[in-house]
Amino acid sequence: MLTTIIIIVALALLFDFINGFHDTANAIATSISTRALSPRFAVFFAAILNFIGAVFSSEVAKTVGGKVANPATIDNGVYIVIAALLSAIIWNLLTWYYGIPSSSSHTLIGSLAGAVIAGAGVGALNWSGFKEIVLILVLSPIIAFATGFVVMWIIRKLILASGNQSRSKMNRTFKSFQVLSAGLLSFSHGGNDAQKAMGIIVFGLVALGYQDNLDVPMWVKVAAATAMGLGTSIGGWRIIKTMSKKLLKIEPINGFASDLNSSIVIQISTHLGMPLSTTHVISSSIIGTGSVMRFHDVKWGTVTRMVLTWVITIPISIVLAFIIYKILFALVA
């Protein structure tokens, strides 16, 4: 049994590590694009604040660990967790390799659902909890786009009303602000994303009888935070390039507005205990703030490719985890 939990923890931390370098672009793409931060310093800066953010809360972990299915009441929980993690890791590596800003949240939730269905049947899935999570995953990018547009519109109106700042001076000012907004966004990212791995580890601990509740032990928090921080320090340069250059030309003013808006949306979701796709939220914020300044400059071809990936991630993850579970169980049984 100890060997089994070691395997689960190792896979969960590997997922978290991959999530770290896969999602490095989330918090620092805008600050790198505007040269507010150098790429290497930005990655190091994001790694530290991702680690700090990851140990501050555990509500999202409880949601991931208990709202998709009840680990205490299903059989074969060990194989379910392993299949879900393998599926999520495979999808994250594929999208990272091709430089596509996919969602680690979508693939983890989809993979967990697929593995539960394969191992315990459709009836074992907590449909109300699963639908609630999926609804948040779907709505959060739309909300981020809309609020990003509004935040940028307000900032632009205030600047125009002041009437005493040139465009170059305005951008120099907001470039300084971007250091703060990138730090806040990195902290927020760690606070939501690292908890997903914590939730999966807790799911495994309950399924194996190591604990009877969804509370997150401190060692799990520290381990997940460390894995996220180390992954972030490596940097997912392919995705950084996509988000910093291929969505639109980012200026300091909309970079700051995007980071601030994303941080607010992510923090609210974290405090409500809901996992969301930080990738989708931040991408949507960038598009929303950029649309105010230059709607036609948004590279809608890249946006369409990203949206297509977002749409197919959960269904593909469900099927992939289902197949992996069946293969794994057949081999072991």
For the packed helices 167-207 and 77-97, what is the interaxial angle rounded to 10 degrees?
150
3-state secondary structure of 99: coil
Instruction: Give me the pLDDT at residue 103, please.
Output: 82
**pTM for the predicted model, two decimal places:** 0.88
CA–CA gap between residue 258 and residue 290 (Å, rounded): 9
Alpha-carbon gap, residue 179 to 255, rounded angstroms: 10
Query: Whole-angstrom Cα distance, residue 2 to residue 210?
Result: 10
235: left (phi over 0), alpha (psi -120 to 50) or beta: left
| Amino acid 124: pLDDT | 93
d(C-alpha 60, C-alpha 131), whole Å: 16
Each as own residue / partner, the long-range contacts of residues 146-149 (CB below 8 Å, 24 or more positions apart, any chain) are 146/288, 147/261, 147/264, 147/265, 147/285, 147/288, 148/257, 148/258, 148/261, 148/262, 148/284, 148/285, 148/286, 148/287, 148/288, 148/289, 149/288, 149/289, 149/291, 149/292
State the total domains in the chain: 1
Please tell me the predicted confidence (pLDDT) of residue 199: 94
51: which 2 tokens? 């680690």
DSSP 149-171: HHHHHHHHHHHHHH----HHHHH
Pick from 30, 35, 34, 40: which is nearest to 242 by CA? 30
- Pairwise CA distance, residues 13 & 186, whole Å: 19
Q: Residue 94: helix, strand or coil by DSSP? A: helix
pLDDT for the residue 310: 78
Its domain, for residue 236, covers 2-332
Compute mean pLDDT per 10 residues along the chain, 333 residues long, and list them: 90 91 71 79 85 88 92 87 96 80 86 96 93 92 94 86 69 85 91 92 92 92 91 66 58 87 95 89 86 69 74 94 96 81
**Of 47, 92, 59, 89, nearest to 190 (Cα)?**
47
How far is it, in rounded angstroms, from Cα 16 to Cα 176? 31
